[in-house]
Structure 1
Amino acid sequence: MDINFEYYKIFYYTAKYKNITKAAAALGSSQPNVTRIIKLLESQLNCHLFIREPRGLSLTEAGEKLYSHVEIAYRHFVNAQEEISGQTDEERGTIELGATETALHLLLLDAMRNFKTSHPKIRIKVHNYSTPELLQFLSAGKIDFAVITTPFKTAKFYQSETLYHFREVLVGGTQYQFLCERKLNLQELQNYPLIGLGRGTATYDLYKDFFIEHDTDIELDMEVASSDLMLPLIQSNLGIGFVPEDLASPLLKKKRLVQIQLNASIPMRSIQIVSDKDRRKSAAADIFYQYLKANNYSKCTKN
């Protein structure tokens, strides 16, 4: 099947914006021309790619499938173009970075600020999702590499290295001061509202296994989609929860949180940098990848 590559470019922008007018503006084209090309592409592929809705367009199942491939291909074309046009200047390009919320706050925000100071022409696009979702993005080629939190299952094509070890602590708002009088068993936590990341996250899997190892089960009273929400909710006395010690420490010192001791040792966790060893990184991505490895090994601590 011989289809003009320009059709896929027009499809990409139409699918990206889900709006003919915006796609035409981005392409420097006209609405009738974009509509005509989309119809030609649908005719050649023998399927419908879009559904017209009152607020714009939505992708059909076939459209979603095509976009998942075209999006990756288009990004690779753009990155290759940037590399070739800027081959006399290695300090250019775009990095597609996958990062969990915890990795961002414990390590990447500082790292990116310092990196951008010394590499101002390199752009960084941050894809902020859970560890399992980012591994799917990596497998699909949607990101250059991921900086994620353990635990996670490794595949043969993953190459992972530790950047940072961290410990989590159980904390509560000031109304839970009475729980600090003695060490608690995990079973006793069922008597108090527990706040945590929900199913489908590495954090939930870690604590699910931790509780099962101690003959009990984790029961979340409040599930949050982002670890960013944990501390404000806990600080508001809505429950207790496990959070990285580095993030809780300032609030513990200000006595806005209290630390609750357990009889069981909370598992150590780490932040890992993960890449697809069979896929070549762009020049910009490789510069940042090497920067992270070189600048954060010193932060690692022994278990």
Structure 2
Amino acid sequence: LGLLNLSTLELKFNPELNSLQDTEPIRPTITQSWEIGYKGIIRDNILVALDGYYSRRKNFTGPLQIITPFVLVPNLKQDLIQDISAGLAANSDIANALGLVGLTPQLAAEILVDIAGGDLPDNETPVAIVQPNENNKGVGSFPELMLTFPNFGDIRYFGMDVSTQIIASEKLTFFGNASWVSDDYFDHTEINEESEDLELALNAPGFKFKIGGQYHQKNGFSFMASGRFTKGFPVISGQYVGNVQSYTVLDVGIGYAIHKAGFRADLGINNLFNSDHREFVGAPRLGRIAMIRLTYTTDRSG
């Protein structure tokens, strides 16, 4: 018997699988987290925030899985040769006739199977589906595949978030933040499961950071620039399975405000150097993006 993996579309023979397996009802995913942090101001112009956390998550709801196994016949050719050879040898008339042309029952069986070989199912071609008796509608009905959302997994990980803002002057401000997590992928051994097909991913980067600065003038002019780096990470989310590559981009923005009139115009350019990248598996690739925003504020103070 073998089960079809819907994520990879692979059908593998499993010698340990000999019948339907009971599937437990779906349970809610439980997350337990402990967090400790600090937020403060240093020398009246440096804002700092530091957070550390530890999380345990279990009973993940996995992607749809087929639970009705396929019947495979990986040894069909050898079995046919053995049975046909035994049948020919048991019939003395046929065995004697074969002997007249120099054939043994074994050799004759091999020739017959080779002739029919093109029409025989191969190692990965299913010939039947195992299903519950309650789903068997009788002779003439077609067997049906049954799917379910499995619960599995018990993972533990920890991480840290750091952010800071430095007010250099009334006009100039610098900022930065970073996030780190201990693990972003868990194979079947890390989630305490026997099946090698069961795996989990946080679907988020294990490390990323952003640094930049802002400049404002009283006459309404402003400028902003920031660079951000995201480390590559694996994705396992339904049909979206793969890896996101690491990427680094630079974002800039410029604006001007006419305070008395209530108007403000801003131009923002994300990914200034047009670094072609994808931020999630299945999402479109991104290049340079420019946006213009016009804002008008009414004075309702009167």
Give the TM-score normalised by the residue count of structure 1: 0.19
> Structure with the greater relative contact order (CA < 8 A, sep ≥ 6): 1 or 2?
1
Give the TM-score normalised by the residue count of structure 2: 0.19
Structure with a larger share of its residues in helix: 1
Structure with a larger share of its residues in strand: 2
